[in-house]
Structure 1
Amino acid sequence: MLLFKPVGQCWSWRRDAFKDHSCAFTRCVIAHLMAATWSKISTLLPADEDHFFLHFDDKVEASVLDVLRRCRRQLYTETGSAARLLDAQIILDVSWEKLNTGTWRDVDKEWRRVYSYGCLFKVCALCGEEPAEEDLLQAVRTCDMGLLMGAAIMDDRLQALVQVLQKEVGKNTKNEKEREHPEVKRIKLACPNVPLSRKDLEIPRVKCPSLESFKNNYLLPLKAVVLEGTIEHWPALNEHPWSVDYLRSVAGCRTVPVELGSRYTDEEWSQRLMTLSEFIDRYVSKMSDTSQEDAATVCGYLAQHQLFEQVVGSKYIRLYSPEDSDKVYPHPSPLLHNTSQVDVENPDTERFPAFPEAPYQECVLRPGDVLFIPVQHWHYVRSLEQSFSVSFWWS
């Protein structure tokens, strides 16, 4: 009670004492929270150095192995974060050079594993003491880089780490996001009425077929089909409807690969790694309603079966059988042999005279539709509005 007694200098002294106590208390709380972050991360690591195995073949030089072992030892000793960051960065720099020498398919998996271990050690260095918000975000990005460019290590430990880190980032930004977006609403876009050219060319539709029926009637005979009613239970279509704001709120800090350019056969086409929030801010938010529509991909095929799920908006899709590959005019380049040279909806018939004769099937996918695309079927996709889709591939 004396703390609030307004008696001149005595009040001033009590006020300062309260301020000092409050600051000390705040620092203790912050330190406790940060220690809690490391506690959660450390539970995902082996109990001691003897159970933290580092096995590589002779493609990885002895000098690199020495640094890896030193990084491992630092996890279980009192080593400053600066020294730990330095050694982790050495691992990342050396392995990054290996990952970017030659074509990706020629990169040895051992070096991808080395890169993943470097990412793990860097995350631990960033979060071992009192990580600031920027440290947590950098740790999330480091995990994502390991997941994208590295190889699975220690029972996919990077995936487990990033889930913990993302929750910690979410705690720090939850109140701010709730103030900015008190209610995340689904984008309401009217699906355009796009007539198909001919009814007999439309890909057939079936509602919730049994696995046996799907296997016998479509998978084995390699026939395309639109499946209806098979993903209606997805949260993305119900209690957590997808929108730009929603995706930012749940995954804005995650690093993703982004393809930039209208077509990947164009000279200006490129790929970049950026956070989902950066992608939204730089490209999605600046798009006009017109530029969000009619985004098309070149015609190509995959060496795997594909399920193409439409979640938001609508897309026009056209399929060509692998039996008609010669009429689709694949690129002569080995790197683009699965890509057509033809602009599907505006073909140059002088250069590609047989293309108009190629039979095809087509459909318009709307939210909840799932298209089965059989292996090696050429497919052309055009967005009719702002839309989100999900794909699964299997052999």
Structure 2
Amino acid sequence: MASLWSKISASLPVNEEQFPLQFGDKVESSVLEMLKWSRQQLYSNTTSASRMLNAQIILDISWERLNTGTWRHVDKDWRRVYSYGCLFKVAALCQGNPSENDVLQAVKTCDMGLLMGAAILDNILQVFVRILHRELRNTSKEEDKSEYAETKRIKIVNPCAPLIKEELAVSRIKCPSLESFNANYLLPLKPVILERIIDHWPALNNHPWSIEYLRSVAGCRTVPVEVGSRYTDEDWSQTLLTVNEFIDKYILNKVQTSQNGEKALGYLAQHQLFDQIPELKEDIRIPDYCCLGEGEEDDITVNAWFGPAGTVSPLHQDPQQNFLAQVVGSKYVRLYSPEDTDKLYPHQSQLLYNTSQVEVENPDAERFPEFAKALYVECVLQPGDVLFIPVKHWHYVRSLDVSFSVSFWWS
């Protein structure tokens, strides 16, 4: 990895004069001086230890600002300061002849900047992480055969899906025209499963998504993970793990059980994944039907949902139209009309007002007597299925096995 620094430095501005450091009044002059000093070190023969020390000081100061008060009140300049600190730390780690552990730390540093910071220098941290990931892939050893066999077995598990009664089943249709979809489903806000509309996705063809593939393109990347079977549970929390750590701990069941003997569950659910890891974004496509909306393509929110069997999204509603595309595994989904909202007992708190208090598959009839009167439709999504969930429609989702879905929120 001796040539790594030459690749990293080649992506930097050619000199200090072309390396901008412009901030508003909220960034103190002492911090700006530290940033300028770290910038100067980039273009000098300063030791790696000195670079690392200054970078860590910048990161520590900006991290404190990022974690003071609510996130929406964090000034963007402080997020940019944090990103510059990440840049300087990556430079310190990659100087000279870095070890594989140094490169892994550099990747994690880039991910923290991409998650918590703001874009700087034409999103240079994304450029860095591609260089670093390519270096790791070029030097990685062949996968252990026993682990590969284990992931293959998990991938082909065929769980017992719930029996869907015909009168309750969500309608299915193959590749409707835009006009037909608009008239028969979008305007009347009627749920439907669209078949064959994502068969061309590389995620289902050229680069079929599997545990092995996710390891290869994103294994060392640090991502936010939700810990717990559902976000309404008292013990639900969030943490940061690499994709490899998440797979080992929650997908391959290499995890300790809780005190009551239940298996711990974790879920990778976030809208930043495809921006953070463009290799995965290149494997999917925005459904053509989104063009029927009022917004632009940039207004569409793309979310990733990756987790083990048993993970639940409680009954809730969203303020936008939703296409839920199933790529790996299967999911049980139940949908209720917004006309039955009163029978679904939404939480009274402002934080969870869009979430029902009812445990859908094990309802408490005494606490929620009207719930049984609410009409619903249901389905099991298989790879290649795309479920249209109309705006404000309540929906409950349970993963039947290891599952990777992609949702598109649009207006």
Give the match for residue 176 of structure 1. 142
Q: After superposition, what is the alpha-carbon deviation per residue over 1:182-206, rounded to whole angstroms, capped at 9, x for unaligned?
A: 888582122534322x434322222
Structure with higher Rg: it is 1
What is the CA distance between 1:72 and its match in structure 2? Answer: 1.8
What is the root-mean-square deviation of aligned Cα atoms in Å? 2.5
Distance 1:214 1:153, change over 3 A: farther
What is the CA distance between 1:127 and its match in structure 2? Answer: 0.9
Q: Give 2:125's aligned amino acid.
A: L
What is the distance in 2 between the residues matched to 1:190 and 1:309?
A: 19
What is the distance in 2 between the residues matched to 1:287 and 1:73?
A: 46
Q: After superposition, what is the alpha-carbon deviation per residue over 1:208-261, rounded to whole angstroms, capped at 9, x for unaligned?
A: 233444445434543322111122122332343333233223321111111111
Distance 1:52 1:365, change over 3 A: same
Q: Would you tell me which structure has more strand in proportion to its own residues?
A: 2
Q: How does 1:30-49 map to 2 (within 5 A)?
A: 33-35=1-3, 37-49=4-16
What is the distance in 2 between the residues matched to 1:385 and 1:256?
A: 21
Q: How does 1:1-395 map to 2 (within 5 A)?
A: 33-35=1-3, 37-173=4-140, 175-177=141-143, 185=152, 187-190=155-158, 192-196=160-164, 198-286=165-253, 293-395=309-411
Q: SS at the partner of 2:316?
A: coil
What is the distance in 2 between the residues matched to 1:323 and 1:58?
A: 51
Q: Would you tell me which structure has more helix in proportion to its own residues?
A: 1
Alpha carbons 2:229, 2:310 under 8 Å: kept: no
What is the distance in 2 between the residues matched to 1:126 and 1:50?
A: 24
Alpha carbons 2:148, 2:212 under 8 Å: kept: no
Distance 1:34 1:360, change over 3 A: same
Give the match for residue 29 of structure 1. none
What is the distance in 2 between the residues matched to 1:338 and 1:312?
A: 27
When the two structures are superposed, what TM-score results if normalisation uses the length of structure 1?
0.83
When the two structures are superposed, what TM-score results if normalisation uses the length of structure 2?
0.80
What is the CA distance between 1:394 and its match in structure 2? Answer: 3.4
Give the match for residue 19 of structure 1. none
What is the distance in 1 between the residues matched to 2:187 and 2:199?
A: 25
Distance 1:34 1:212, change over 3 A: farther
Give the match for residue 20 of structure 1. none
What is the distance in 2 between the residues matched to 1:124 and 1:326?
A: 57
What is the distance in 1 between the residues matched to 2:184 and 2:52?
A: 56
Distance 1:50 1:221, change over 3 A: farther
What is the distance in 1 between the residues matched to 2:24 and 2:57?
A: 19
Query: Percent same amino acid at aligned positions?
Result: 62
What is the distance in 2 between the residues matched to 1:221 and 1:154?
A: 46
Q: SS at the partner of 2:139?
A: helix
Q: After superposition, what is the alpha-carbon deviation per residue over 1:272-302, rounded to whole angstroms, capped at 9, x for unaligned?
A: 10111112222222269x9654332212223
Distance 1:286 1:178, change over 3 A: closer
Which of 55-64 and 267-276 deviates more?
Answer: 55-64
What is the distance in 2 between the residues matched to 1:219 and 1:68?
A: 52
Q: Give 2:223's aligned amino acid.
A: V
Give the match for residue 28 of structure 1. none
Alpha carbons 1:177, 1:249 under 8 Å: kept: no
